[in-house]
Structure 1
Amino acid sequence: MLGMQELVIILLIVVLIFGAKRIPEIMSGLGKGIRSFKKNMEEDDTQIAPTTPPPQLDSTTAKGESGTAKDKIEPK
């Protein structure tokens, strides 16, 4: 866990790099990004629903005889 001294040092470095006027803009953008991310995650959870059943294996596929051209290619 970071102590108070470490947090103050990190804050000073951030202020030196970005400037005091720019930090609220950065935090605002970060907050908007997090809100957008959470909103999209909630929308994705409601949209996830199986629309088609999983494919069923027929007897030829189950035996390993799919009959595709890829299976019929012989090595040189």
Structure 2
Amino acid sequence: MFGIGGSELIFIIFVVLMLFGSDKIPEFARSLGKGMAQIKNATNEIKSEIQKGTKDTGLDMNSLTGGITDEIKKAKEEINKSVNPLSNITSDIEKPIQQAKEDIENMTGPIKRQL
């Protein structure tokens, strides 16, 4: 969790107890939770306003980000091909094996039904 180990977390809890006292911690946690909820609501409102604005202007957010997503996907595939050239070989081998399995299943299907 955020790169914090168990002993570090216990130390942080101990320091918080020493600074605020056990009676102030629930109040502090409530205010922290309310603040996080307000931040979440604000970001959701901003997202919805951006989406409304793009719809009003006739822009499509999916088409704007879709091109970027496709380019990232292509770049990842090219990197994977250059780093691990054997990955293409395994996919080329798997297709005929799968086809052979389907052919065998199709041939043995009528035999199984007769038994």
**With structure 1 as the length reference, what TM-score do the two structures score?**
0.58
In structure 2, the partner of 1:14 is 16
Matches within 5 A, 1:36-75: 36-48=38-50, 49=53
Unaligned runs of 5+ in 2: 58-115
Q: Secondary structure at the match of 2:22?
A: coil
How far 1:5 moved relative to its partner?
A: 1.9
**What is the percent sequence identity of the aligned residues?**
35
In structure 1, the partner of 2:111 is none
How far 1:40 moved relative to its partner?
A: 1.1
How far 1:35 moved relative to its partner?
A: 0.6
Greater fraction of residues in helix: 2
* Root mean square deviation of aligned Cα: 1.7
Q: Higher relative contact order by CA 8 Å / sep ≥ 6: 1 or 2?
A: 1
Q: Matched residues in 2 for 1:12 and 1:3: separation?
A: 14
How far 1:44 moved relative to its partner?
A: 1.1
How far 1:38 moved relative to its partner?
A: 0.7
Matches within 5 A, 1:24-39: 24-39=26-41
State the one-letter code of the partner of 1:31: G
In structure 1, the partner of 2:7 is 5
**With structure 2 as the length reference, what TM-score do the two structures score?**
0.40
What is the aligned residue count?
52
